[in-house]
Each structure stands twice: as C-alpha cells, then as structure tokens.
Amino acid sequence: DVKVTQSSRYLVKRTGEKVFLECVQDMDHENMFWYRQDPGLGLRLIYFSYDVKMKEKGDIPEGYSVSREKKERFSLILESASTNQTSMYLCASSSGWGDEQFFGPGTRLTVL
Amino acid sequence: AQKVTQAQTEISVVEKEDVTLDCVYETRDTTYYLFWYKQPPSGELVFLIRRNSFDEQNEISGRYSWNFQKSTSSFNFTITASQVVDSAVYFCALNDMRFGAGTRLTVKP
C-alpha cells in the first residue's frame, strides 16, 4: 500500500520558534510538494522538488524553506514561526509531471 | 497565468439527488492535465480522475462522471444518486500545482 506519511498530525508552537515538518514517501517518486490549506483558499503551493537537493518556489514561499537530502524525504522548515502560519500543511508526491499526486494526512499547525 | 475556479463554495443535497460540481480553468498551455481530488472528513486527499488536454471524451466511473469541454474551459464533475459517503470537499486541479478553492458537498440522509 503506497504511502505518504507526515511526522505529526497536530503541532502547537510558539511565535519565533523554528519548526520542522517532515514528509516521507515510500513510492520512489521523483516529485514532492508542500501545500498549505486554508478555508476558502484551497491548496496553495509553498515549495516543490523534482529531484534530490532540487527545490522550486511555489506561490507562497515567504517564511518557509525546504530540504530534500534523500529522495524519499521532503522537509518544510518555518525559520521563525508566526501566527499567520497557523494552517493545515499537506505533503504530496508524484512520479512525474502530470501524474496523480498522493497526499499525506496533513499536519495541523497552530502557532501561538 | 494558470487559474482554477470552483465557484460553488458549498452544496447541500438530499441523498439520491444528482449533483454537479463546476470547475473552470485558465491556462495558455496547449498541453495540460486536469484532476479531481476528494477530501473526506478524515482529511486525506484522494485522487479521483486525471484528464489530459487532448482527450475530451467524457468519463464515467460508477456514479461519477466527468464532462471536459475545452471550448468553455470547464471540467465538471457529476455525482448521480448521491450518497452520504459522498460528503467531502472536492478539489479541481490544473497540472501538478494549481488547485481550486474546493467545493464542500454535504449529502443529507
């Protein structure tokens, strides 16, 4: 059974903390994505990666960075968390452009 | 610029009714892919269908059907004889990374 896993379902952090969200896929997929989901806005792409050590900015990269040191793992980093980063974060992977994406269960992050 | 519009924010129907979820997209690409995903209350998005820009044939899968019309840049999704288990948020997407805002469908018994 193919899987995308995310390190936490729920996370509560304080303003200014450095936050790491981890995503792991077991499908040997080339592409990995980080989205945030907010009511009324749908899914917005933060960053994506099409290969190890490669990354591309999405629509809303400000305040975020990413790391992909291994093919199966894609990490999202909030350098200094702020309250406006309170959201649901979704990780996804796909085998190539135009292929279906497989999503993780999401991490609901609350920044106080 | 690429854009996906799902004008229906929320739809509520009674079980066994048919319901159509609208999706309108914008792109200048000649080759592109369109998707529908379902997000049930449990939260995990699930892939439903993919269509490429060269295939305008309608698709039917059980109670689900999709109507792709390039002339109107639309890729609408119809659920026939809806069931309570169809209650979810449905997202239309263009290529890998452009999602609509989603339509929340509630099917009441």
Binary contact (A98, B33; C-beta < 8 A): yes
Residue (of A38, A47, A40, A26) closest to A91 by Cα position: A47
Residue B56's pLDDT is what?
84
What is the residue-wise DSSP string for B25-45? EE---SS-EEEEEEE-TT---
- pLDDT beneath 70, residues of chain A: 1-2
Query: How far does A16 lie from chain B, in Å, by closest CA?
Result: 28
Neighbouring C-beta atoms of residue B82, cutoff 10 Å? 22
- Report the residue from A48, A101, A105 with minimal CB separation from B47: A101
Give residue-wise pLDDT tens across range B13-26: 999 999 999 999 99
Residue B88's pLDDT is what?
97
- Report the residue from B6, B47, B97 with minimal CB separation from A33: B97
Q: Which residues of A touch B52 (CB under 8 A)?
A: 98
**Which residue's entry shows tokens 């993780």?**
A104
Has residue B103 got a pLDDT over 70?
Answer: yes
Give residue-wise pLDDT tens across range B29-86: 999 999 999 999 888 999 999 999 998 888 889 999 999 999 999 999 999 999 999 9
Cβ atoms of A112 and A83 within 8 Å: the answer is yes
Give residue-wise pLDDT tens across range A59-87: 999 999 999 999 999 999 999 999 999 99
Residue B55's pLDDT is what?
87
**Which residue's entry shows tokens 């899968």?**
B61
Binary contact (A44, B102; C-beta < 8 A): no
Residue A2's pLDDT is what?
64
In whole angstroms, give the CA distance from residue B25 to residue B69: 11
